[in-house]
Structure 1
Amino acid sequence: MSLPPSEPASSTPPRRLGLTGSIGAGKSTVAALLRARGLTVLDADEQAHLVTREPETLAAIERAFPGTVQGGVLDRAALGAVAFADPARLVGLNSIVHPRVRARMTALELEASLRGERWLVQDVPLLFEGGLEVGMDAVLVVDAPLELRIARVMARSDLTREEVLARDARQTPAAEKRRKASYVIENSGERADLEPQVDAALRHLGIPVQPQQ
């Protein structure tokens, strides 16, 4: 992720659109629609997966959660079972991973600045939980009814209903996210129902788009 030393940084950094939503709300689908409209999306989850392949990060996780790294590879299921069962241990995990993720996101943001981009999207599941909304120019929240969110997560993973509810309970309540949002997208229907909402959100927020060919 090195930058060309000869290129000067843009004097006008891109404005930030924070994208977030509760577990199972469909945030990733909205992120894909934003990409299709030509916006750069920086995915915190993707960066977290890359970070947790780095030897230094793996060593720190193994020290804090013995047995969760096997042969230099993180056992994500084992780590999740331990960390999500204890709020204090989850805080400890986040203290290892989140600063490294933010460093990678900052580097990617600088690259976008050098390209002259006017807006970029920061896709951050725990945007409000980390207090990161204060650094955003606008926040887009994706929401859906709780029972629908539970069904979506259970369909795509091996989590039980109780485990989904436990993870949801550790996030900022959906009602509070909606209150803090610059714009809310309702994802209780089909993907086709999201397209006009995404376009309306971008118009409302004054974000220009250049659809990808």
Structure 2
Amino acid sequence: MKRIGLTGSIGSGKSTVSRLLVKRDIPVLDADQVAREVSTFPDVLQKVSEAFGPEYVTPEGFNRPKIAELVFHQPEARQTLNGIIHPRVRSRMRELEEALQADLVVQDIPLLFESNLDALMDATIVVDAPLEERIARVMARDGLSREQVLSRDNSQMPAAEKRQKATYVVFNDGSLEHLETQVNRILDALLKSGS
């Protein structure tokens, strides 16, 4: 099984690329979705409550707005939360991957390079788009202010650095057809080369 890491800055269109991969029958494991699942585990809620206070958890899981506000303004809090969540997410992703019968699997991981998880991948794909387009998308999608989007973007590795580290780069700066053409070209290269 070949493991491909998919990442991109906030608002770049990673979810759209994931949908295009699924359309080609490529399994995509979404680290954010797994993190949401893990964030409901009682032991995780207990650790987060102990680390930050009971107001950061609810019976259903994290108090997401409070957690987001905390981690995007306090790097040490983000590090603490990542220390609680990331090992459990990686363990669950391994379980899901092992259950698949596929030659190629894509792991959609927002902090792929920041977490050094690219070392576990056979290749990496970075989705990128112009900053102003990304800001507009996230403001429309999540109802955030420009400053909130920029704060989240600045908490991640710069897009230029991600592009430099990537095996493949997809530019989401045009039509869906243009994006799909790029994704298909990369996928064909991966399937042909086996790397």
- TM-score, normalised with respect to structure 2: 0.94
Instruction: Give the deviation of 1:207 after TM superposition.
Output: 5.3
Task: Give distance in 1, aligned partners of 2:167 and 2:183.
Answer: 13
Question: Deviations along 1:103-157, whole A, 9 cap, x unmatched?
Answer: 0001111112xx2x11100110000000011111110110000111011111011
SS at match of 2:76: helix
* 1:147 maps onto 2:135 in alignment: no
- Residue 84 of structure 1 is matched in structure 2 by 72
SS at match of 2:95: helix
- Residue 57 of structure 1 is matched in structure 2 by 44
- Residue 162 of structure 1 is matched in structure 2 by 147
Question: Deviations along 1:62-82, whole A, 9 cap, x unmatched?
Answer: 111211113353210111111
Alignment partner for residue 89 of structure 2, among 101, 112, 118?
101
* 1:45 maps onto 2:42 in alignment: no
Task: Give distance in 2, aligned partners of 1:177 and 1:120.
Answer: 20
- Residue 4 of structure 1 is matched in structure 2 by none
CA contact (8 A) 1:58 1:69 kept: yes
Q: Quick one: structure 1 residues 73 and 178, their matched pair in 2 at CA, closer, same or farther if it must change by over 3 Å?
A: closer
Instruction: Give the deviation of 1:170 after TM superposition.
Output: 1.4
SS at match of 1:206: helix
SS at match of 1:141: strand
Alignment partner for residue 35 of structure 1, among 7, 22, 29?
22
Higher deviation after alignment, 69-78 or 42-51:
69-78
Which of structures 1 and 2 has the bigger CA Rg? Answer: 1
* 1:177 maps onto 2:159 in alignment: no
Which letter maps to 1:89? A
Q: Quick one: structure 1 residues 207 and 63, their matched pair in 2 at CA, closer, same or farther if it must change by over 3 Å?
A: farther
- Residue 188 of structure 2 is matched in structure 1 by 203
CA contact (8 A) 1:44 1:124 kept: yes
Task: Give distance in 2, aligned partners of 1:204 and 1:147.
Answer: 31
- TM-score, normalised with respect to structure 1: 0.86
CA contact (8 A) 1:65 1:79 kept: no
Structure 2 alignment gaps of length 5 or more: none
SS at match of 2:73: coil
Structure 1 alignment gaps of length 5 or more: 1-13, 209-213
Instruction: Give the deviation of 1:202 after TM superposition.
Output: 1.1
Which letter maps to 2:27? T
Which letter maps to 1:71? P
SS at match of 2:164: helix
Identity across the alignment (%): 50
The structure where helix makes up a greater share of residues is: 2
Instruction: Give the deviation of 1:162 after TM superposition.
Output: 1.1
Q: Any runs of at least 4 consecutive aligned residues in structure 1 with deviations exceeding 4 A, and if so which?
A: none
Q: Output the aligned Cα RMSD.
A: 1.3
